Amino acid sequence: MNLTNKPMDVADLQNTDLQTNDLQNNSLQNNDLQNAAPNAQGAGDSAPQSKLRSAIGKFLPWVAKGGLAVLDYGLISGSNFLLGILLARWLTPTEYGAYALSFSFFILAGFLYQTLLLEPLSVFSGTLFSENLRGYLKTSLWIHWALSFVLCLIIGVAALVTSQIGHSPILAVALAGMTIATPFILMHGLARRSFYLTMSPGPAAFGSIFYCILVVAGVFVVNRLGWLSSFKAFLIMGLAAFTASVVMIFQLNGVLPAASGRPRLRATCAKHWEYGRWALATCVVGWIPNYIYLPLVSSFSGMAAAGELRALMNLAAPVLQTYAALSMLFLPFAARTQNHKGRAAASALNRRLAFLFVAGSCAYWAVLIPLKAPLFHFLYGGKYMESAYLIPLFALETTIWSASLGPAILLRAMESPRSLFIANGAASVVAVVVGIPATRFFGLPGVIWSMIGANFLYVVVAFILLDKKLATANASVATVPESMYAD
C-alpha cells in the first residue's frame, strides 16, 4: 500500500461539511438582506423557499453517500452469498462442508480484525489523526500485516493439526487456502474502510463491484475447467481481493493530503488495544441478547422451533445490513463532529441518527407487515406459516433496537466502547434472567417479548450513558501527543 506524500489534488474532504455549512449560512444571510424590502409578501415567500433549498442541499449528498454505502456493503455480502450458493451446487457435500467450516473460521478472524483495527481506525481518523490521515494509514498498514501474520499463523497451525491429527485432509487443504487468502481479503476491507474516513463511499463501492465480478467470473471459469475445489475457491477470493485492493489504493493515493509525519507503531498499537479490548468484550456480551435464543429454543422446543425463529430473523436481515453500512459511514463523521463542534452538536447528531434509524425501520415493516402471509409463503414455500403472526411483534423488537444505533455510534466516536459493554451487559442480564423462563414456558412469543425487554433496557442505558459522557466531555479538540510520532 504505497501511500506516498502526494499533495492533494482536490479540496480537503474532511472540511467539506464545515465549508458547506458556512456557505449555506452565508446564503441564508444574503437572502435575508435581499428580502428586507418594503414588500413584506415577497420576503415572506422567499425565506421558506431558501430554507427548503438549504435543507434539500444538505439532505441530497447524504442520500447519495448512504446509497453508495449500502451498495458497497450489499455487494460484499451478496458476493459471499452467491459464492456460497454456487459452491453448494458445484462441489461435493464433503468439499462444500470443508469450505463452510473454514469460512466460519475466517468470520472469526474478520471479527478480531474489525475490533482491533477497522473500528479504532474509523474513530481515531476523526479525532487524533484527522489532520494526518495518510500518515495514520501508513502506520495502520503495518498493524494490518502484524494482525494478518498472527491470524495466518493460527489458521496455518490449525490446518497442519487437522491434516496430522484430525484425519481430515479436505478440511486441512481448505484451511490452507484460507491461510493464503486471509491477508488479502482483510486488506480489501482496510482499503474500503479508508474511503469512509473521508466520507467517500463511492470508490469503495466501485472496489466491491470489481471484487464481486472477479470472484463470480473466477469461480465460473475454474468450474468450467473442472478445477474447482474449496482450496481454489479461497485462492480466487484472495486474488480478487488483492486486485481490487490495488485499484483502490491507487485511487486513495490520489486524494489523500500529504502526511505531516508517521505515528509510532507501538504507540498506535497501544491506542488501538485500549479501544479494541472493550470493543471485543462488547461484541462478546452483545452476542447474548441477540443469539442466545436459538440454542434455548432448540433445547426447549426442538430444532423446528429454532427454524421458525431463524425464519423470522431473516426478515430483519435487510434492515440490519443497511444499518451496518450506514453505521460504517456515520462513525468517522460522528467522531469529527463531537471532536470539533462540541457537546451540543454531538447531542443533536445523536437525536437525528436515532430518528433516522427508527423511521427507516418503521417504513420497512410498514411495507412487510401487510404482506406477512404471502411473503412467508413465497420465501419459505409454505413452511413456517404458523409463526407469521409474530412478524408485527418482531418488527417492534427491531424498531426498538434501531433507536440504540444513535447513541451507539456516538459512544464509539467518543472512544467509549466501555459504555456499550455496560449497556450490552444490562441487556444480557434480561436475556438470561427473563429470556430463559420465557422461552421455556411461552415458546416463540416468550422469546420475542424477552428480546423486546432486553433491547428496551439497552436503549435506555445507552442514552443515559451517552448523556453522562456528553456532560463530562471536554470541548477542546483532541491533539496527538508528540510521543506518538517518530523523530
Output the pLDDT for position 485: 60
Shared-domain flag, residues 407 and 460:
yes
Please tell me which of 271-275, 280-284, 290-294 the model is most confident about, judged by mean pLDDT.
271-275
Shared-domain flag, residues 257 and 283:
no
Mean per-residue pLDDT of the chain: 80
Which range of residues forms the domain containing residue 296?
278-471
Shared-domain flag, residues 170 and 249:
yes
Cβ proximity of 116 and 280 under 8 Å: yes
Mean pLDDT of 296-319: 80
Q: State the cell numbers at 204.
A: 469503495
Cβ proximity of 277 and 28 under 8 Å: no
Shared-domain flag, residues 282 and 227:
no
Residue 210 has pLDDT above 80, yes or no: yes
Establish if 140 belongs to a structural domain: yes
Shared-domain flag, residues 234 and 300:
no
Distance of alpha carbon 186 from alpha carbon 189, whole angstroms? 5
Nearest to 348 by CA among 477, 466, 199: 466
Output the pLDDT for position 479: 56
Phi-psi group of 6: left, alpha or beta (phi > 0 → left; psi -120 to 50 → alpha; rest → beta): beta
Shared-domain flag, residues 236 and 344:
no
Where does a domain end: 263, 288, 321? 263
Q: State the cell numbers at 436.
A: 430463559
Distance of alpha carbon 416 from alpha carbon 119, whole angstroms? 12
Shared-domain flag, residues 155 and 291:
no
Establish if 311 belongs to a structural domain: yes
Shared-domain flag, residues 125 and 247:
yes
Establish if 329 belongs to a structural domain: yes
Establish if 319 belongs to a structural domain: yes
Output the pLDDT for position 314: 77
Shared-domain flag, residues 417 and 293:
yes
Distance of alpha carbon 97 from alpha carbon 87, whole angstroms? 10
Mean pLDDT of 135-146: 92
Establish if 24 belongs to a structural domain: no
Nearest to 466 by CA among 283, 338, 360, 357: 338
pTM above 0.85, yes or no: no
Establish if 42 belongs to a structural domain: no
Domains contained in the chain, number: 2
Output the pLDDT for position 352: 92
Shared-domain flag, residues 378 and 403:
yes
Shared-domain flag, residues 188 and 294:
no
Distance of alpha carbon 275 from alpha carbon 140, whole angstroms? 15
Cβ proximity of 455 and 397 under 8 Å: yes
Per residue in 232-266, pLDDT (tens digit) is 999 999 999 999 999 898 888 887 888 778 888 88
Establish if 460 belongs to a structural domain: yes
| Strand blocks (E) in 68-126 | none
**CB-count burial class (<10 Å; 0-12, 13-18, 19+) for 33:** exposed
Mean pLDDT of 356-369: 93
Where does a domain end: 263, 290, 317? 263
Shared-domain flag, residues 240 and 299:
no
Establish if 376 belongs to a structural domain: yes
Per residue in 40-50, pLDDT (tens digit) is 444 445 666 66
Residue 340 has pLDDT above 90, yes or no: no
Taking the CB of residue 434, how many other CB atoms lie within 10 A of it? 17
